Structure 1
Protein backbone atom coordinates (compact mmCIF):
# COMPACT_ATOMS: atom_id res chain seq x y z
CA UNK A 1 0.00 0.00 0.00
CA UNK A 2 2.91 2.38 0.61
CA UNK A 3 3.62 2.27 -3.13
CA UNK A 4 0.48 4.35 -3.64
CA UNK A 5 2.30 7.27 -2.02
CA UNK A 6 5.87 6.48 -3.09
CA UNK A 7 7.32 9.16 -5.37
CA UNK A 8 10.71 7.52 -5.87
CA UNK A 9 11.95 8.10 -9.42
CA UNK A 10 9.54 10.98 -10.00
CA UNK A 11 10.66 14.53 -10.74
CA UNK A 12 8.64 17.51 -9.50
CA UNK A 13 8.75 21.19 -10.42
CA UNK A 14 7.25 23.46 -7.77
CA UNK A 15 6.87 27.10 -8.76
CA UNK A 16 7.42 29.83 -6.19
CA UNK A 17 9.06 27.32 -3.87
CA UNK A 18 11.93 29.12 -2.18
CA UNK A 19 9.80 29.72 0.93
CA UNK A 20 6.34 29.28 2.47
CA UNK A 21 3.88 26.74 1.13
CA UNK A 22 5.94 26.04 -1.99
CA UNK A 23 9.03 25.11 0.00
CA UNK A 24 7.02 22.96 2.41
CA UNK A 25 5.49 21.05 -0.50
CA UNK A 26 8.88 20.60 -2.16
CA UNK A 27 10.37 19.17 1.02
CA UNK A 28 7.30 16.99 1.56
CA UNK A 29 7.53 15.47 -1.92
CA UNK A 30 11.27 14.96 -1.44
CA UNK A 31 10.58 13.10 1.82
CA UNK A 32 8.48 10.69 -0.21
CA UNK A 33 11.23 10.06 -2.74
CA UNK A 34 10.76 12.73 -5.40
CA UNK A 35 13.56 14.68 -7.03
CA UNK A 36 12.48 18.32 -6.69
CA UNK A 37 13.11 21.46 -8.70
CA UNK A 38 12.92 24.73 -6.80
CA UNK A 39 11.67 27.69 -8.83
CA UNK A 40 11.71 31.41 -8.13
CA UNK A 41 13.02 34.70 -9.45
CA UNK A 42 15.49 35.52 -6.67
CA UNK A 43 18.75 33.65 -7.18
CA UNK A 44 19.88 33.79 -3.56
CA UNK A 45 16.55 32.54 -2.16
CA UNK A 46 16.31 29.67 -4.63
CA UNK A 47 19.90 28.57 -4.11
CA UNK A 48 19.49 28.75 -0.34
CA UNK A 49 16.40 26.51 -0.50
CA UNK A 50 18.18 24.02 -2.78
CA UNK A 51 21.22 23.93 -0.52
CA UNK A 52 19.05 23.31 2.54
CA UNK A 53 17.28 20.39 0.86
CA UNK A 54 20.53 18.91 -0.42
CA UNK A 55 22.07 19.12 3.05
CA UNK A 56 19.12 17.09 4.33
CA UNK A 57 19.97 14.36 1.84
CA UNK A 58 17.34 15.16 -0.78
CA UNK A 59 17.85 15.63 -4.51
CA UNK A 60 17.03 19.25 -5.40
CA UNK A 61 17.87 21.57 -8.29
CA UNK A 62 17.38 25.30 -8.95
CA UNK A 63 15.28 26.66 -11.82
CA UNK A 64 15.36 30.44 -11.84
CA UNK A 65 12.82 31.95 -14.21
CA UNK A 66 9.81 34.27 -14.13
CA UNK A 67 6.61 32.22 -14.34
CA UNK A 68 4.57 35.34 -15.19
CA UNK A 69 6.27 35.63 -18.60
CA UNK A 70 5.29 33.13 -21.29
CA UNK A 71 8.67 33.09 -23.04
CA UNK A 72 10.49 32.68 -19.72
CA UNK A 73 8.18 29.85 -18.69
CA UNK A 74 8.64 28.06 -22.03
CA UNK A 75 12.42 28.45 -21.92
CA UNK A 76 12.63 27.53 -18.23
CA UNK A 77 10.65 24.32 -18.68
CA UNK A 78 12.63 23.41 -21.80
CA UNK A 79 15.90 23.93 -19.91
CA UNK A 80 14.73 21.64 -17.09
CA UNK A 81 13.67 18.86 -19.45
CA UNK A 82 16.93 19.11 -21.39
CA UNK A 83 19.34 19.58 -18.50
CA UNK A 84 17.70 17.71 -15.59
CA UNK A 85 15.04 15.44 -17.07
CA UNK A 86 11.35 15.01 -17.71
CA UNK A 87 8.92 16.72 -15.36
CA UNK A 88 6.53 14.12 -13.93
CA UNK A 89 4.81 16.39 -11.41
CA UNK A 90 4.07 20.11 -11.59
CA UNK A 91 2.82 22.13 -8.64
CA UNK A 92 1.71 25.60 -9.73
CA UNK A 93 2.22 27.37 -6.42
CA UNK A 94 3.50 30.87 -7.32
CA UNK A 95 1.11 33.52 -6.06
CA UNK A 96 0.72 36.88 -4.37
CA UNK A 97 -1.77 38.92 -2.39
CA UNK A 98 -2.60 42.63 -2.19
CA UNK A 99 -5.27 44.06 0.08
CA UNK A 100 -7.28 47.20 -0.61
CA UNK A 101 -10.92 48.33 -0.69
CA UNK A 102 -12.21 47.39 -4.12
CA UNK A 103 -13.20 50.94 -5.05
CA UNK A 104 -9.60 52.04 -4.43
CA UNK A 105 -7.83 48.97 -5.80
CA UNK A 106 -4.86 50.09 -7.98
CA UNK A 107 -5.03 48.97 -11.60
CA UNK A 108 -1.37 47.95 -11.62
CA UNK A 109 -1.92 45.64 -8.65
CA UNK A 110 -4.93 44.11 -10.43
CA UNK A 111 -2.74 43.33 -13.44
CA UNK A 112 0.01 41.96 -11.21
CA UNK A 113 -2.42 39.65 -9.41
CA UNK A 114 -3.74 38.36 -12.73
CA UNK A 115 -0.31 37.56 -14.15
CA UNK A 116 1.08 36.09 -10.93
CA UNK A 117 -1.90 34.05 -9.76
CA UNK A 118 -3.54 32.86 -12.96
CA UNK A 119 -1.41 33.57 -16.06
CA UNK A 120 1.52 31.72 -14.47
CA UNK A 121 -0.65 28.63 -14.01
CA UNK A 122 -1.58 28.74 -17.69
CA UNK A 123 1.95 29.45 -18.97
CA UNK A 124 3.80 26.85 -16.91
CA UNK A 125 0.96 24.35 -17.09
CA UNK A 126 0.86 24.55 -20.88
CA UNK A 127 4.65 24.28 -21.21
CA UNK A 128 4.89 21.25 -18.92
CA UNK A 129 1.78 19.55 -20.30
CA UNK A 130 3.26 19.32 -23.79
CA UNK A 131 5.94 16.94 -22.55
CA UNK A 132 3.49 15.03 -20.37
CA UNK A 133 1.12 14.57 -23.32
CA UNK A 134 3.94 13.04 -25.37
CA UNK A 135 4.75 10.68 -22.49
CA UNK A 136 1.05 9.89 -21.87
CA UNK A 137 1.27 10.62 -18.15
CA UNK A 138 1.74 13.43 -15.66
CA UNK A 139 0.42 15.11 -12.55
CA UNK A 140 -0.42 18.81 -12.34
CA UNK A 141 -1.50 20.35 -9.04
CA UNK A 142 -2.66 23.95 -9.00
CA UNK A 143 -2.74 25.84 -5.71
CA UNK A 144 -6.15 27.45 -5.37
CA UNK A 145 -7.58 28.83 -2.10
CA UNK A 146 -10.65 28.91 0.10
CA UNK A 147 -11.11 32.21 -1.74
CA UNK A 148 -11.91 30.07 -4.79
CA UNK A 149 -15.19 29.51 -2.93
CA UNK A 150 -15.49 32.38 -0.44
CA UNK A 151 -15.14 36.17 -0.48
CA UNK A 152 -13.92 38.65 2.10
CA UNK A 153 -13.68 42.46 2.05
CA UNK A 154 -10.50 43.94 0.63
CA UNK A 155 -9.37 41.00 -1.52
CA UNK A 156 -11.91 40.81 -4.38
CA UNK A 157 -9.26 40.63 -7.14
CA UNK A 158 -7.40 37.86 -5.29
CA UNK A 159 -10.70 36.00 -4.95
CA UNK A 160 -11.28 36.41 -8.69
CA UNK A 161 -7.87 34.93 -9.54
CA UNK A 162 -8.29 31.95 -7.23
CA UNK A 163 -11.75 31.26 -8.61
CA UNK A 164 -10.11 31.26 -12.02
CA UNK A 165 -7.48 28.77 -10.85
CA UNK A 166 -10.24 26.40 -9.75
CA UNK A 167 -11.99 26.58 -13.11
CA UNK A 168 -8.77 26.43 -15.12
CA UNK A 169 -8.03 23.20 -13.25
CA UNK A 170 -11.34 21.82 -14.49
CA UNK A 171 -10.57 23.01 -18.01
CA UNK A 172 -7.13 21.40 -17.98
CA UNK A 173 -8.78 18.15 -16.96
CA UNK A 174 -11.34 18.44 -19.75
CA UNK A 175 -8.59 18.89 -22.35
CA UNK A 176 -5.74 16.74 -21.03
CA UNK A 177 -7.22 13.80 -19.08
CA UNK A 178 -7.58 11.88 -22.35
CA UNK A 179 -3.77 11.95 -22.66
CA UNK A 180 -3.23 10.27 -19.29
CA UNK A 181 -2.74 13.43 -17.19
CA UNK A 182 -4.35 14.07 -13.80
CA UNK A 183 -4.90 17.74 -13.04
CA UNK A 184 -6.24 18.73 -9.65
CA UNK A 185 -6.09 21.64 -7.23
CA UNK A 186 -5.39 22.09 -3.54
CA UNK A 187 -7.30 24.92 -1.88
CA UNK A 188 -5.61 25.89 1.39
CA UNK A 189 -7.50 27.68 4.10
CA UNK A 190 -5.73 30.16 6.34
CA UNK A 191 -2.15 29.05 6.90
CA UNK A 192 0.75 30.63 8.74
CA UNK A 193 2.91 31.81 5.84
CA UNK A 194 4.89 34.95 4.96
CA UNK A 195 1.98 35.91 2.67
CA UNK A 196 -0.39 35.94 5.67
CA UNK A 197 2.00 37.25 8.31
CA UNK A 198 0.15 40.56 8.71
CA UNK A 199 -3.05 38.65 9.47
CA UNK A 200 -1.31 36.20 11.78
CA UNK A 201 0.03 39.16 13.77
CA UNK A 202 -3.41 40.78 13.97
CA UNK A 203 -5.12 39.59 17.20
CA UNK A 204 -8.54 40.73 16.00
CA UNK A 205 -8.30 38.80 12.74
CA UNK A 206 -6.83 35.70 14.40
CA UNK A 207 -9.66 35.70 16.93
CA UNK A 208 -12.23 35.99 14.12
CA UNK A 209 -10.58 33.16 12.18
CA UNK A 210 -10.46 30.81 15.16
CA UNK A 211 -14.18 31.35 15.75
CA UNK A 212 -15.01 31.03 12.03
CA UNK A 213 -13.03 27.83 11.44
CA UNK A 214 -14.46 24.59 12.89
CA UNK A 215 -10.92 23.39 13.70
CA UNK A 216 -10.48 26.58 15.71
CA UNK A 217 -6.99 27.53 14.55
CA UNK A 218 -4.62 28.55 11.76
CA UNK A 219 -3.20 25.78 9.60
CA UNK A 220 0.48 24.87 9.55
CA UNK A 221 2.09 24.49 6.12
CA UNK A 222 3.20 20.94 6.90
CA UNK A 223 -0.48 19.97 6.95
CA UNK A 224 -0.63 20.50 3.17
CA UNK A 225 2.00 17.87 2.42
CA UNK A 226 -0.34 14.88 2.66
CA UNK A 227 -2.71 16.31 0.07
CA UNK A 228 0.17 17.09 -2.29
CA UNK A 229 1.70 13.62 -1.96
CA UNK A 230 -1.71 12.01 -2.48
CA UNK A 231 -2.39 13.99 -5.65
CA UNK A 232 1.18 13.40 -6.90
CA UNK A 233 1.16 9.64 -6.54
CA UNK A 234 -0.61 6.52 -7.76
CA UNK A 235 -3.27 6.80 -5.07
CA UNK A 236 -5.03 9.52 -7.09
CA UNK A 237 -4.86 7.85 -10.50
CA UNK A 238 -8.60 8.30 -11.17
CA UNK A 239 -9.07 11.69 -9.54
CA UNK A 240 -9.22 14.49 -12.08
CA UNK A 241 -10.44 18.08 -12.17
CA UNK A 242 -11.01 18.05 -8.41
CA UNK A 243 -10.33 20.84 -5.91
CA UNK A 244 -9.31 19.49 -2.51
CA UNK A 245 -10.00 21.97 0.30
CA UNK A 246 -7.51 21.77 3.17
CA UNK A 247 -9.06 24.40 5.37
CA UNK A 248 -9.95 23.13 8.83
CA UNK A 249 -13.58 23.03 7.74
CA UNK A 250 -14.06 26.73 7.02
CA UNK A 251 -15.84 26.10 3.70
CA UNK A 252 -18.42 23.94 5.46
CA UNK A 253 -19.76 27.04 7.18
CA UNK A 254 -20.82 29.21 4.25
Structure 2
Protein backbone atom coordinates (compact mmCIF):
# COMPACT_ATOMS: atom_id res chain seq x y z
CA UNK A 1 0.00 0.00 0.00
CA UNK A 2 2.89 2.37 0.83
CA UNK A 3 4.47 1.63 -2.55
CA UNK A 4 1.25 2.43 -4.41
CA UNK A 5 1.26 5.92 -2.91
CA UNK A 6 4.39 6.73 -4.91
CA UNK A 7 3.64 5.47 -8.40
CA UNK A 8 1.12 6.01 -11.17
CA UNK A 9 0.50 2.44 -12.26
CA UNK A 10 -2.64 2.12 -14.35
CA UNK A 11 -3.22 5.86 -14.67
CA UNK A 12 -4.07 7.36 -18.06
CA UNK A 13 -2.65 10.78 -18.80
CA UNK A 14 -2.88 13.43 -21.48
CA UNK A 15 0.08 15.82 -21.84
CA UNK A 16 -0.24 18.72 -24.26
CA UNK A 17 2.92 19.98 -25.93
CA UNK A 18 4.50 16.67 -25.02
CA UNK A 19 7.34 16.41 -27.54
CA UNK A 20 9.81 19.02 -26.28
CA UNK A 21 11.09 20.72 -23.17
CA UNK A 22 8.94 20.58 -20.06
CA UNK A 23 6.12 18.66 -21.77
CA UNK A 24 8.41 15.87 -22.94
CA UNK A 25 9.98 15.62 -19.49
CA UNK A 26 6.54 15.41 -17.86
CA UNK A 27 5.45 12.66 -20.25
CA UNK A 28 8.68 10.78 -19.59
CA UNK A 29 8.24 11.05 -15.82
CA UNK A 30 4.64 9.84 -15.89
CA UNK A 31 5.54 6.96 -18.21
CA UNK A 32 8.40 5.73 -16.04
CA UNK A 33 6.10 5.83 -13.01
CA UNK A 34 3.71 3.43 -14.73
CA UNK A 35 1.17 5.69 -16.43
CA UNK A 36 -0.14 5.29 -19.96
CA UNK A 37 0.46 8.63 -21.66
CA UNK A 38 -1.04 10.29 -24.73
CA UNK A 39 0.97 13.27 -25.95
CA UNK A 40 -0.33 15.88 -28.37
CA UNK A 41 1.65 18.37 -30.45
CA UNK A 42 1.35 20.16 -33.79
CA UNK A 43 4.21 18.52 -35.70
CA UNK A 44 3.71 14.93 -36.87
CA UNK A 45 7.43 14.19 -37.08
CA UNK A 46 8.00 15.27 -33.48
CA UNK A 47 5.08 13.22 -32.20
CA UNK A 48 6.15 10.10 -34.10
CA UNK A 49 9.77 10.36 -32.97
CA UNK A 50 8.86 10.82 -29.32
CA UNK A 51 6.34 7.98 -29.25
CA UNK A 52 8.68 5.61 -31.12
CA UNK A 53 11.50 6.35 -28.68
CA UNK A 54 9.35 5.67 -25.62
CA UNK A 55 7.82 2.53 -27.06
CA UNK A 56 11.28 1.16 -27.88
CA UNK A 57 11.93 1.26 -24.12
CA UNK A 58 8.71 -0.56 -23.33
CA UNK A 59 6.84 2.52 -22.17
CA UNK A 60 3.11 2.81 -22.86
CA UNK A 61 3.05 5.98 -24.99
CA UNK A 62 0.83 7.15 -27.83
CA UNK A 63 0.45 10.41 -29.67
CA UNK A 64 -1.88 12.61 -31.66
CA UNK A 65 -1.13 15.49 -34.00
CA UNK A 66 -3.30 18.46 -33.07
CA UNK A 67 -3.24 22.16 -32.28
CA UNK A 68 -5.06 22.54 -28.97
CA UNK A 69 -5.60 26.25 -29.59
CA UNK A 70 -8.17 25.22 -32.23
CA UNK A 71 -11.68 24.14 -31.12
CA UNK A 72 -12.01 21.35 -33.71
CA UNK A 73 -8.68 19.82 -32.73
CA UNK A 74 -9.60 19.91 -29.04
CA UNK A 75 -12.88 18.12 -29.70
CA UNK A 76 -11.15 15.48 -31.83
CA UNK A 77 -8.59 14.92 -29.08
CA UNK A 78 -11.21 14.41 -26.39
CA UNK A 79 -13.22 12.16 -28.71
CA UNK A 80 -10.14 9.98 -29.19
CA UNK A 81 -9.66 9.65 -25.44
CA UNK A 82 -13.32 8.85 -24.90
CA UNK A 83 -13.28 6.17 -27.59
CA UNK A 84 -9.94 4.68 -26.55
CA UNK A 85 -9.88 4.92 -22.77
CA UNK A 86 -13.35 5.97 -21.65
CA UNK A 87 -11.85 7.97 -18.80
CA UNK A 88 -8.94 10.29 -18.05
CA UNK A 89 -6.96 10.25 -14.82
CA UNK A 90 -4.45 13.03 -15.49
CA UNK A 91 -4.68 16.14 -17.66
CA UNK A 92 -1.51 18.23 -17.99
CA UNK A 93 -2.10 21.56 -19.72
CA UNK A 94 1.47 22.32 -20.71
CA UNK A 95 1.16 24.06 -24.10
CA UNK A 96 2.45 27.60 -24.04
CA UNK A 97 4.38 30.13 -26.07
CA UNK A 98 5.45 33.76 -25.91
CA UNK A 99 6.01 36.89 -27.94
CA UNK A 100 8.32 39.20 -25.99
CA UNK A 101 7.30 42.83 -26.52
CA UNK A 102 6.25 45.95 -24.67
CA UNK A 103 2.48 46.32 -24.21
CA UNK A 104 2.16 49.13 -26.75
CA UNK A 105 3.92 47.04 -29.43
CA UNK A 106 1.56 44.04 -29.52
CA UNK A 107 -0.77 43.61 -32.46
CA UNK A 108 -4.35 42.35 -31.94
CA UNK A 109 -3.34 39.15 -33.73
CA UNK A 110 -0.46 38.51 -31.30
CA UNK A 111 -2.72 39.21 -28.34
CA UNK A 112 -5.31 36.69 -29.53
CA UNK A 113 -2.62 34.16 -30.46
CA UNK A 114 -1.13 34.19 -26.95
CA UNK A 115 -4.51 34.00 -25.22
CA UNK A 116 -5.75 31.17 -27.41
CA UNK A 117 -2.53 29.16 -27.05
CA UNK A 118 -1.71 29.70 -23.38
CA UNK A 119 -5.09 30.13 -21.72
CA UNK A 120 -8.10 29.24 -23.85
CA UNK A 121 -6.61 25.86 -24.76
CA UNK A 122 -6.26 24.93 -21.09
CA UNK A 123 -9.66 26.32 -20.07
CA UNK A 124 -11.50 24.50 -22.83
CA UNK A 125 -9.62 21.22 -22.38
CA UNK A 126 -10.53 21.29 -18.71
CA UNK A 127 -14.19 21.74 -19.60
CA UNK A 128 -14.15 19.08 -22.30
CA UNK A 129 -12.25 16.62 -20.09
CA UNK A 130 -14.53 17.04 -17.09
CA UNK A 131 -16.77 13.98 -17.71
CA UNK A 132 -13.71 11.81 -18.35
CA UNK A 133 -11.94 13.06 -15.21
CA UNK A 134 -15.13 12.59 -13.22
CA UNK A 135 -15.21 8.97 -14.34
CA UNK A 136 -11.72 8.42 -12.95
CA UNK A 137 -12.69 9.10 -9.31
CA UNK A 138 -9.04 10.05 -8.82
CA UNK A 139 -8.75 12.75 -11.45
CA UNK A 140 -5.93 15.25 -11.58
CA UNK A 141 -5.46 18.44 -13.56
CA UNK A 142 -2.06 20.13 -13.63
CA UNK A 143 -1.78 23.53 -15.28
CA UNK A 144 1.73 24.65 -16.17
CA UNK A 145 1.88 28.30 -15.17
CA UNK A 146 5.03 30.37 -14.58
CA UNK A 147 6.56 32.69 -12.01
CA UNK A 148 5.67 35.30 -14.64
CA UNK A 149 2.11 34.79 -13.41
CA UNK A 150 3.11 35.57 -9.82
CA UNK A 151 4.87 38.89 -10.37
CA UNK A 152 6.48 41.13 -12.92
CA UNK A 153 9.04 39.66 -15.30
CA UNK A 154 10.45 40.95 -18.56
CA UNK A 155 8.64 38.21 -20.47
CA UNK A 156 5.78 40.47 -21.55
CA UNK A 157 2.45 41.42 -20.03
CA UNK A 158 0.28 39.11 -22.11
CA UNK A 159 2.33 36.04 -21.24
CA UNK A 160 2.16 37.00 -17.56
CA UNK A 161 -1.59 37.57 -17.80
CA UNK A 162 -2.20 34.12 -19.23
CA UNK A 163 -0.01 32.43 -16.64
CA UNK A 164 -1.66 34.29 -13.77
CA UNK A 165 -5.04 33.24 -15.12
CA UNK A 166 -3.97 29.59 -15.02
CA UNK A 167 -3.22 29.93 -11.31
CA UNK A 168 -6.67 31.37 -10.67
CA UNK A 169 -8.33 28.76 -12.88
CA UNK A 170 -6.65 26.04 -10.83
CA UNK A 171 -7.94 27.52 -7.56
CA UNK A 172 -11.50 27.85 -8.82
CA UNK A 173 -11.67 24.38 -10.34
CA UNK A 174 -10.09 22.81 -7.25
CA UNK A 175 -13.10 23.96 -5.22
CA UNK A 176 -15.72 23.50 -7.93
CA UNK A 177 -14.64 19.94 -8.75
CA UNK A 178 -13.62 18.70 -5.31
CA UNK A 179 -16.89 16.81 -4.85
CA UNK A 180 -16.11 14.92 -8.06
CA UNK A 181 -12.78 13.70 -6.59
CA UNK A 182 -10.83 15.79 -9.08
CA UNK A 183 -7.78 17.60 -7.75
CA UNK A 184 -6.50 20.66 -9.60
CA UNK A 185 -3.07 22.19 -9.05
CA UNK A 186 -0.49 24.13 -11.01
CA UNK A 187 3.27 24.48 -11.17
CA UNK A 188 5.09 27.75 -11.79
CA UNK A 189 8.57 27.33 -13.24
CA UNK A 190 11.27 30.01 -13.39
CA UNK A 191 13.83 29.83 -16.20
CA UNK A 192 14.12 26.21 -17.33
CA UNK A 193 16.47 24.95 -20.03
CA UNK A 194 13.94 24.62 -22.83
CA UNK A 195 14.02 25.72 -26.47
CA UNK A 196 11.79 28.70 -25.62
CA UNK A 197 14.06 29.90 -22.80
CA UNK A 198 17.40 29.25 -24.49
CA UNK A 199 16.78 32.11 -26.92
CA UNK A 200 17.27 34.60 -24.06
CA UNK A 201 19.59 32.57 -21.83
CA UNK A 202 22.22 32.63 -24.59
CA UNK A 203 22.86 36.26 -23.66
CA UNK A 204 25.63 36.12 -20.98
CA UNK A 205 24.51 39.32 -19.28
CA UNK A 206 20.91 38.20 -19.09
CA UNK A 207 21.94 34.76 -17.80
CA UNK A 208 23.99 36.42 -15.05
CA UNK A 209 21.03 38.59 -14.04
CA UNK A 210 18.84 35.48 -13.76
CA UNK A 211 21.40 33.58 -11.69
CA UNK A 212 22.02 36.59 -9.44
CA UNK A 213 18.32 36.60 -8.51
CA UNK A 214 18.07 32.83 -8.00
CA UNK A 215 19.15 31.61 -4.53
CA UNK A 216 20.17 28.17 -5.86
CA UNK A 217 22.33 29.91 -8.51
CA UNK A 218 21.32 27.61 -11.34
CA UNK A 219 18.90 27.29 -14.23
CA UNK A 220 16.31 24.57 -13.78
CA UNK A 221 15.99 21.48 -15.94
CA UNK A 222 12.73 20.17 -17.43
CA UNK A 223 13.03 17.13 -15.17
CA UNK A 224 12.74 19.37 -12.11
CA UNK A 225 9.29 20.52 -13.24
CA UNK A 226 8.31 17.00 -14.29
CA UNK A 227 9.04 15.63 -10.82
CA UNK A 228 6.79 18.25 -9.23
CA UNK A 229 3.97 17.46 -11.66
CA UNK A 230 4.29 13.72 -11.05
CA UNK A 231 4.21 14.18 -7.28
CA UNK A 232 1.03 16.24 -7.45
CA UNK A 233 -0.63 13.44 -9.44
CA UNK A 234 0.32 10.67 -7.00
CA UNK A 235 -1.89 9.18 -4.31
CA UNK A 236 0.72 10.50 -1.86
CA UNK A 237 -0.50 14.01 -2.71
CA UNK A 238 -4.17 13.12 -2.25
CA UNK A 239 -4.81 16.00 0.19
CA UNK A 240 -3.26 18.69 -2.01
CA UNK A 241 -5.49 20.72 -4.31
CA UNK A 242 -5.83 24.32 -5.44
CA UNK A 243 -2.13 24.98 -4.97
CA UNK A 244 0.55 26.59 -7.12
CA UNK A 245 3.98 25.04 -6.60
CA UNK A 246 6.84 27.29 -7.73
CA UNK A 247 9.72 25.34 -9.27
CA UNK A 248 12.13 28.24 -9.31
CA UNK A 249 15.26 27.71 -7.23
CA UNK A 250 13.90 30.13 -4.64
CA UNK A 251 13.45 33.04 -7.06
CA UNK A 252 9.87 33.89 -6.08
CA UNK A 253 10.71 34.25 -2.38
CA UNK A 254 13.99 36.12 -2.87
CA UNK A 255 12.64 39.62 -3.50
CA UNK A 256 15.54 42.10 -3.22
CA UNK A 257 18.79 40.82 -1.76
CA UNK A 258 22.31 42.19 -1.64
TM-score, scaled relative to structure 1: 0.96
RMSD over aligned Cα, in angstroms?
1.3
The aligned residue for residue 111 of structure 2 is 110
Q: Tell me which residue corresponds to 2:150.
A: 149
Shift of 1:109: 1.1
Structure 2 gap ranges (5+)? none
- Structure 2 match to 1:76: 77
1:50 is the counterpart of 2:56: no
Which residue of structure 2 lines up, in the alignment, with residue 179 of structure 1? 180
Residues 1:65 and 2:69 aligned together = no
1:139 is aligned to 140
CA contact (8 A) 1:74 1:123 kept: no
Alignment of 1:148-167 (within 5 A): 148-153=149-154, 155-167=156-168
- Asked if the contact 1:5–1:229 (Cα under 8 Å) also holds between the matched residues in 2, the reply is no
Cα shift at 1:166: 0.5
Measured after TM superposition, the shift of residue 74 of structure 1 is: 2.2
**Counterpart Cα distance in 2 of 1:172 and 1:68:** 20
Measured after TM superposition, the shift of residue 65 of structure 1 is: 2.0
Work out whether 1:249 is the aligned partner of 2:256.
Answer: no
Q: CA deviation at 1:199?
A: 1.4
> What whole-Å deviation, never above 9, does each CA across 1:35-88 have from its counterpart, x for those lacking one?
111111111111111111111220100122221123321221121221245221
1:193 is aligned to 2:227? no
Q: Secondary structure at the match of 2:177?
A: helix
Q: Distance in 1 between matches of 2:176 and 2:75?
A: 20
SS in 1 for 2:153: coil
Please name the residue that 2:171 is paired with.
170
Question: How many Å separate the matches in 1 of 2:145 and 2:13?
Answer: 18
Q: Is the 8 A contact 1:68 1:115 kept in 2?
A: yes
Shift of 1:152: 2.1
The answer to whether residue 224 in structure 2 is matched with residue 223 in structure 1 is: yes
Q: Secondary structure at the match of 1:127?
A: helix
Shift of 1:170: 0.8
Q: TM-score, normalised by structure 2?
A: 0.95
Q: CA deviation at 1:154?
A: 5.1
- Where does structure 1 differ by over 6 angstroms across 4 or more consecutive aligned residues? none
1:16 corresponds to 2:2: no
Q: Count how many residue pairs are aligned between Structure 1 and Structure 2.
A: 254
Secondary structure (helix, strand or coil) at the match of 2:47 reads helix
Contact 1:14/1:37 (8 A) holds in 2: yes
